Amino acid sequence: MSKRVAIFISGGGSNMLKLLESMTGDHPARPCVVLSNDPMARGLELAEARGVPTEVVRHEPFKGDRVAFEHAISGAIAPHAPDIICLAGFMRKLTESFVDPWRGRMLNIHPSLLPKYRGLNTHARALAAGDPVHGCTVHQVTPQLDDGPILGQAQVPVLAEDTADSLAARVLAQEHLLYPAVLRRFAAGDHRPILLR
Ligand code: GRF
């Protein structure tokens, strides 16, 4: 039976779209819901246009109470009965109380070659460090931010003329290849890491 995948977004949803598009044919998973903390996230429209159910749980009403926000998320996704959660540009930190029950069943994509550059501004930080190679990582989610077992990485050479924006664009293109490749394997129960160069 196909695995049911919930995708969490906060914005453009380009990774989400690649995941949705990949889950057809003999893929071992199908999307069951796209959830956003931002009602204006463009990814919501993209999901709806493809007939994928959407849910919005705004974080502002829960200011100062992350656990209550997470309870609301759990309530919103429960009717869709996901087996796997993919974070795809979801810009809220999740606490242990949400992450623990999903351990081994929740993935995230991060725009750096972890363990380098957890958190934000990864492209500028790679440039500032003079790294010759940058990239992105898909990993299992644990309560530590941008941590957890690595399921795949894609490397991107840094060019002399790169700005944070040009580098981000090339990394994003690799994210779009890496995340669907990892999800396909992961949903089939294969946790061996993928390396794209
Ligand atoms: C991606 O770079 C992702 O790695 C990061 O936020 C960006 C989201 O882009 N966490 P999109 O919403 O998938 O277009």
How much is the pTM?
0.97
Residue nearest to atom 5 of ligand 1 (CA): 89
Is the domain of 31 the same as that of 121? no
Catalytically annotated residues: 110
Is the domain of 120 the same as that of 193? yes
**Gap from CA of 24 to ligand 1 centroid (Å):** 22
User: Domain of 41: which CATH number?
Assistant: 3.40.50.170
Residue nearest to atom 7 of ligand 1 (CA): 89
Domain that holds residue 27: 1-102
Q: Rounded CA gap, 8 and 54, in Å?
A: 10
Residue nearest to atom 3 of ligand 1 (CA): 89
Is the domain of 74 the same as that of 115? no
Beta strands in the chain (DSSP E): 3-9, 29-36, 54-56, 84-87, 106-110, 133-140, 150-157, 194-196
Mean pLDDT over the full length of the chain: 97
Is the domain of 54 the same as that of 13? yes
**Gap from CA of 144 to ligand 1 centroid (Å):** 19
Q: What's the number of domains the chain is made of? A: 2
Among 82, 102, 122, the domain-final residue is: 102
Is the domain of 170 the same as that of 96? no
pLDDT per residue over 102-129, tens digit each?
999 999 999 999 999 999 999 999 999 9
Q: Which of ligand 1's atoms lies nearest the C-alpha of 168?
A: 2
Is the domain of 96 the same as that of 8? yes
pLDDT per residue over 123-162, tens digit each?
999 999 999 999 999 999 999 999 999 999 999 999 999 9
Is the domain of 94 the same as that of 14? yes
Among 102, 132, 152, the domain-final residue is: 102
Question: Is 149 buried (19+), middle (13-18) or exposed (0-12) by CB count in 10 A?
Answer: exposed
Is the domain of 114 the same as that of 173? yes
Is the domain of 117 the same as that of 49? no
Q: How far apart, in Å, are the Cα atoms of 49 and each of 43, 54, 60, 158?
A: 10, 11, 27, 36
**Gap from CA of 88 to ligand 1 centroid (Å):** 6
Among 102, 134, 149, the domain-final residue is: 102
Tokens standing for 27? Answer: 């893929």
Is the domain of 93 the same as that of 122? no
